[in-house]
Structure formats: C-alpha cells, structure tokens
Structure 1
Amino acid sequence: MSAALLAPEVFAALAEPNRLRIVELLRDGARPVGEIAERLSLLQPQTSRHLRILSEAGLVRADRQAQSRVYHLLPTPFRSLEAWLGTFAQVWETRTDRLDSYLSDLEAHERLDAPQGDRE
C-alpha cells in the first residue's frame, strides 16, 4: 500500500488533538454532536467544526436522527491506515533482527577476548 492511497487530509485531521479525541470517543460507538461536545468539554459549534473536518477527510459520517446528527467512524480509512502502518512492521522487524545479531556477535567476541579466568 502506498502513502498515495492515504489522503493527506486524514493525517491533517487526526493531527489536531480535539479531533483525535473525537475519533477515540467514536471508537466506542456512534454519538450525537451534543454528547461529543459534552464528553470532551467543547462548545457545540467547535465540535461541529471538528466533525465537519473529520467528515471531509472521510473518517466519520453523520446520520440524522430526529433533530440531531449522530456521528460514527467509517472503517475504510482506518483499514488503509492500518495497512500502511503495517508496512513499517517489516522494516522494524528487520532492524531488530540485525540488532539482535549484532549484540550476539558482540557478546561472543567479548567472551573470546576475556581472560581465561573471567570466562563462564
């Protein structure tokens, strides 16, 4: 998966602390704007603005229920983000394997270089 498949708007939307808090809150289930605002101690217009940005980035969707809008997370961008981050797992695994090998070699050399009485 290339970074091109991840819209820059997703990163920009998630980089703002209040929007990240909204996403974390919605992870537990859909919520109306008023509840989101109350739970996060934000003003409703401020919350609506953050939700609009999250919606434009494709991270959330609103459903109208009676007089309110209920927001929930959309799974696709999070799956794409997870897949993209997963590509880094191989990089870190390879680096960790190399470090483990280096430390094992270093330890072996130290044992060989140690005086006879210090060897285990």
Structure 2
Amino acid sequence: MTKELLLAAFIIGVGLCVAGAGTHLYQWLTRQQAMLRWDGKSYLASLGHLAMSFVCGPYIMLQVGWSHEEDGTISMPSVLISALVAFGWAFITGLLFVSVYVALRYQ
C-alpha cells in the first residue's frame, strides 16, 4: 500500500515539475503570461495553446487558486478546489511524461 502511494506522489511530483518548468519556459520564450486558452491566430497556434494549456495546466491552476478577492483576502474554497483540480491534473500530466520516459528508456 505504501509503495503505491509513494508512486502516486512521485507521478504527481513529476507532473508538477514538468508543468512549472513548462510554464516558465513558455513565459520566457513568448514574453507573455501563460494562461489556460485555446484561441490563436491560426489553427496551428490554437493547437499550440491547447498543448501548452494541457502541459502547464496544473501550475496555472495552483496560481489561479491563490488569486486575491476584491477585498485583498484569499478565498479558502477557491484554494482547495484549485489544488484538488491541479493535483489530479498533475497526476495525468506526470503519468503521461513518466510513461513516455519508460517507453523510450526500456524498449
């Protein structure tokens, strides 16, 4: 039981690391704020934004949860819901990248 929980935590950690690194790399290369979007000037740009949103989504969701309300406070339900979504999403993203690594490494 402990091994399975540690494996799940490792996969979530990989997903969050990939999402954070991808977000900062995207913001550095494009010089614009990373956000969840699927619009674009062309079909190819739309697919690029969609791929960026999928990979960088967990990190962006964690940032959205910490946004302030009008009175300067942080909403606890917003933080908890965004963390739940972000960690679930990070598991999917981490599972994708770990499975690609294992498939390429151990052919």
Which structure: larger Rg? 1
User: With structure 2 as the length reference, what TM-score do the two structures score?
Assistant: 0.31
